[in-house]
Structure 1
Amino acid sequence: MTIGTNSTDPPGEWVTTTAVVKVAGLRHHQEAFESFVAAVQRAEANAMAYGVDLEPEPTNPVDPFAIRVYGWAMRSRFLRGPARDRYFLGFVPAGLAAELHADLTDAGVPFAARLYSIWLGETGFVDVNIIILAPSGWWHKARIKMRGC
């Protein structure tokens, strides 16, 4: 079953700078993933916003180019207005994170992400798929061309 295909894009004008990317390390964050899935289902049922955030982690002891992936979903709070809940899901795959660092971060170019889909398999297999976004002029082919590839 696929859910999460109607996510909210980050504010601003963005272009896709990657193909669809699978979030790495989901199995290490199973509880957060399950909470995020439930939050997305509630958000979809109540026409509320949800999506993903990226957060570079330059102090990561294993990979200084690491980029954390957080899922978020809005929810209603009785008499207190909406709340935005956030869930640490995993990381942008290491090779792509290093590429984004070289192509975008080093050039001072911001990036964001769009939730593409959440796959819930009948056998317990799960996937969170995202697309990395960048400002106009930094689409995927332009990044490759700038690298001289």
Structure 2
Amino acid sequence: MRYAQDRHMPDGKWVQTTLAESVVGVHHRKADAIAFARAARKAEAKGLQYGVELEHRPDNPHDSNAIAVIGVSEQKGWLSRRIGRWHIGYLDRDVASEIISDLVSNGIAVAAELYSIYEGKDGFLDFKVIVLAPPGHSTKARLRGKL
């Protein structure tokens, strides 16, 4: 089943700087991934906000370019609203390296858009995200700068 396809964008003006990329390492964070997927589906049904955020993790012992993907969902209780946050995985190593070298190391902010969540009958979860950057830093602009 595929859901969470209404593409919640972060506030502000952004352009797409990657294709829809699968979040890696989800199987290592299964409990958080399941919790976020359920929260996103509830938020979608209730018209609440949800999406993903990116966090550069330069102290990651396996990869100083690691970019964590954090699922974020508004949750409404009887008397309150709160924001839930779950670390669901990372951007692919090659994508993260490119984002760090092209954008983050140059002081350019990045954000992400949740493209979709796919949940298989066997418990398989696939989160697709698109990395965003300010106008002028689209995929085409970044490629032009490398030529």
Distance in 2 (CA, whole Å) between partners of 1:54 and 1:109 is 13
> Which runs of no fewer than 5 residues in structure 2 stay unpaired?
none
The answer (yes or no) to whether the contact 1:73–1:84 under 8 Å persists in 2 is yes
Deviation (angstroms), 1:144:
1.0
Match of 2:132, SS state, is strand
Q: Partner residue of 2:62? A: 62
Aligned AA (1:136):
P
Match of 2:17, SS state, is strand
Q: Partner residue of 1:45? A: 45
Give every structure 1 segment of 4 or more consecutive aligned residues whose post-TM-superposition deviation is greater than 3 Å: none
Q: Partner residue of 2:133? A: 134
1:24 maps onto 2:37 in alignment: no
Tell me the number of residue pairs that the alignment of Structure 1 and Structure 2 aligns. Answer: 147
The answer (yes or no) to whether the contact 1:29–1:88 under 8 Å persists in 2 is yes
Q: Partner residue of 1:109? A: 108
Q: Partner residue of 2:92? A: 93
Aligned AA (1:115):
L
Deviation (angstroms), 1:99:
0.5
The answer (yes or no) to whether the contact 1:7–1:49 under 8 Å persists in 2 is no
1:17-56 CA-partner distances (Å, limit 9, x unpaired): 0001000100000000110111011111211010000000
What TM-score, normalized to structure 1?
A: 0.95
Q: Partner residue of 1:82? A: 81
Sequence identity, in percent?
37
1:33-90 CA-partner distances (Å, limit 9, x unpaired): 11011101111121101000000001111111000001011011222x3100001000
> Which runs of no fewer than 5 residues in structure 1 stay unpaired?
none
Distance in 2 (CA, whole Å) between partners of 1:100 and 1:19 is 12
What TM-score, normalized to structure 2?
A: 0.96
Aligned AA (1:92):
L
The answer (yes or no) to whether the contact 1:15–1:134 under 8 Å persists in 2 is yes
Q: Partner residue of 2:33? A: 33
